Structure 1
Amino acid sequence: MSWYLTIKALHIIFMVAWFAGIFYLPRIFVYHAESDSSEVRAQLAIMAKRLLYFITPFAILTLMFGIALIAMQGMDWFRLSIWLHIKMLLVLILYVYHGYCFVLLKRFQNDNNQRTGLYYRIFNEVPVLFLFAIILLAVIKPFYG
């Protein structure tokens, strides 16, 4: 059994689990922003909190296994892998996005949302675009050595 392939599989598994939540969380925000019922908004805030706290460990494990993969490849490989540098920048932006979801959650919990459902519908599409770019970079590996 190859440790590298095991680590890579775990990286992908936790990335998929993280993205599943990152795709659904803004949908909860959409429903919350468009709801006129205080009871529904309260329930959606609970759902959003549980989901965000559930997926955060997946985000952390994705990062840990990604760093392990880079370490296993070595610094010479890392320096030549410009595609990976671009991927890492996109992933960093996704971690900022994830962190911003905590800010949005707090606003919803305090019933202090200032954004429309349309805003959250657009916000919901951001990780999809990043996922496409990240997967394309990881598979095609343009700008390599």
Structure 2
Amino acid sequence: MTLLWIKALHLFFMIAWMAGIFYLPRLFVYHATTKEKVVKDQFKIMEKRLWFFVTPFALLTFIFGIWLIVLYGADWFAAAKWLHIKLLLVFALYIYHFYLYKLVKQFARDENKHSPLFYRFLNEAPVLVLLAIVSLAVVKYL
């Protein structure tokens, strides 16, 4: 029973984290588009709050994921090749998460270096990575 609760919490926090990961670059699109200072200042607040709101979800996703690996055991981990690929993709999402923070800081200093189109592409990247992660976790192929 414990295993199922840990898995449920892992999935819940992952979904909450991904919601923020999907929305933050969308805010960047709008922020990069506007010229009005008052609107830019509002976006700065929203971006910072959102990043700090979802970061604990990223941490809890990690904690419950590691807990699951421990519960399943070392032999299972060694044999689960699909999981090794999944973990590489998850690591890429954590890099992406902290890259978003770098962008939050650039916007906060009014030092945006990218176009709205760049942020539109940036917004789509985690969707494809998440598709691969979920596929590997459900199908467990490889």
TM-score calculated relative to the size of structure 1:
0.97
Partner of 2:4: 5
User: Are 2:89 and 1:65 equivalent residues in the alignment?
Assistant: no
User: Are 2:87 and 1:82 equivalent residues in the alignment?
Assistant: no
- Per the TM alignment, residue 7 of structure 1 is displaced from its structure 2 partner at its CA by 0.1
- Consecutive unaligned residues in structure 2, runs of 5 or more: none
**Alignment size in residue pairs:** 142
- Per the TM alignment, residue 142 of structure 1 is displaced from its structure 2 partner at its CA by 0.6
How far does the alpha carbon of each residue in 1:95-136 deviate from its partner, in whole angstroms, 9 at most, with x for none? 000000110000000000010000000000011001100000
User: Are 2:129 and 1:130 equivalent residues in the alignment?
Assistant: yes
| Aligned amino acid, residue 121 of structure 2 | I
1:27-42 to structure 2, matched below 5 A, reads 27-42=26-41
- Per the TM alignment, residue 38 of structure 1 is displaced from its structure 2 partner at its CA by 1.1
TM-score calculated relative to the size of structure 2:
0.99
How far does the alpha carbon of each residue in 1:28-54 deviate from its partner, in whole angstroms, 9 at most, with x for none? 000001111111111001000000000
User: Are 2:73 and 1:104 equivalent residues in the alignment?
Assistant: no
Q: After the TM superposition, which parts of structure 1 deviate over 3 Å for at least 4 consecutive aligned residues?
A: none
- Consecutive unaligned residues in structure 1, runs of 5 or more: none
SS at match of 1:112: coil
Partner of 2:93: 94
CA distance in 1, matches of 2:37, 2:113: 15
Percent sequence identity is: 56
SS at match of 1:93: helix
- Per the TM alignment, residue 22 of structure 1 is displaced from its structure 2 partner at its CA by 0.5
